[in-house]
């Protein structure tokens, strides 16, 4: 593993690291914030999954999470959103290929050799973090924005017992019924829509739910509301009687201004689930 940068931040350390990934068969880059409490022993993990076109860097720089994480003593992991590199398949469209991994394991050509983002986030990267950094893999929480909100919710429901809590900012809530989803799930997983169900948070909420609290924030002025379909996830949460909250935030859009405005709420929510506050 190669250290690309390390910067002091709110008493802790914001690092960026690169390593060879077996899951994605290429080099992968991730950010990791370690709070000052990590100097005393392993700290719990908050995963932050980013959205379309993002790298590990967008949320690391724009989401304003480090100050809140330092206050509660939580590490924050910022994975990339897809495999990358000259040998990795890409597409001319912004919403497919590099920068648009959708947190699935692709089974279809030409994507299958590299696009195994589910395995990377669920299996490979957690083991790497535990081996090299003072983090407590027994205490994990997860959040994300847009495509990353989709990933956070589907990973949380797809890995029972892994995460103490799950949250999302403007998630792609029903991708199997949206143009942000049908295109990508068909490309990566093939035409059998029954296979897509494990990667649709609304379907998972209806059929399985989550064994902890859930927090979803959605901006009322989000320019992508028709693609995100938040109302069906809210209805599924209500029908499931899911522990948690769905909040429509008046006047907010899809940007990191929205994410950073409510990041403190989300970190505090996860801290409560972990028993840190």
Residues forming the active site: 146, 222, 254
| CA dist., res. 260 & res. 268, Å (int) | 13
Q: What is the CA radius of gyration of the chain?
A: 17
| CA dist., res. 230 & res. 233, Å (int) | 5
Half-sphere exposure (Cβ direction) of 41: Cα atoms closer than 13 Å: 0
| CA dist., res. 136 & res. 71, Å (int) | 17
With contact defined as beta carbons under 8 Å apart, do 226 and 187 qualify? no
Phi/psi at 242 (nearest 5 deg)? -65, 130
3-state secondary structure of 56: coil
Percent helix, strand and coil across the chain, each to the nearest 5: 35, 25, 35
């Amino acid at each position: 593993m190669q250290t690309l940068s390390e910067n002091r931040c709110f008493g802790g350390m914001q690092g960026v690291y690169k390593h060879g990934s077996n899951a994605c068969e290429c080099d992968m880059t991730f950010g990791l914030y370690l709070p000052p409490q990590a100097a005393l022993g392993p700290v719990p993990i908050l995963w932050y999954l980013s959205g379309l076109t993002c790298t590990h860097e967008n949320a690391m720089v724009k989401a304003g999470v480090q100050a809140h994480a330092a206050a509660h003593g939580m590490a924050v992991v910022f994975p990339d959103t897809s495999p990358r590199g000259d040998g990795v398949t890409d597409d001319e469209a912004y919403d497919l290929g590099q920068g648009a991994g959708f947190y699935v394991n692709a089974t279809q050509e030409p994507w299958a050799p590299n696009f195994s983002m589910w395995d990377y986030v669920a299996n490979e990267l957690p083991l790497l973090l535990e081996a090299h950094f003072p983090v407590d893999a027994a205490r994990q929480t997860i959040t994300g924005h847009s495509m990353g909100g989709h990933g956070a919710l589907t990973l949380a429901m797809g890995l029972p017992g892994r995460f103490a809590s799950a949250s999302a900012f403007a998630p792609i809530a029903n991708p199997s019924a949206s143009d942000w989803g049908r295109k990508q799930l068909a490309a990566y997983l093939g035409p059998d829509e029954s296979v897509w169900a494990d990667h649709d948070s609304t379907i998972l909420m209806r059929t399985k739910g989550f064994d902890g609290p859930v927090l979803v924030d959605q901006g009322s002025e989000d320019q992508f509301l028709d693609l995100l379909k938040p109302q069906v996830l809210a209805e599924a949460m209500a029908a499931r009687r899911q522990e948690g909250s769905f909040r429509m935030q008046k006047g907010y859009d899809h940007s990191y201004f929205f994410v950073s405005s409510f990041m403190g709420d989300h970190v505090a929510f996860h801290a409560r689930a972990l028993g840190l506050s």
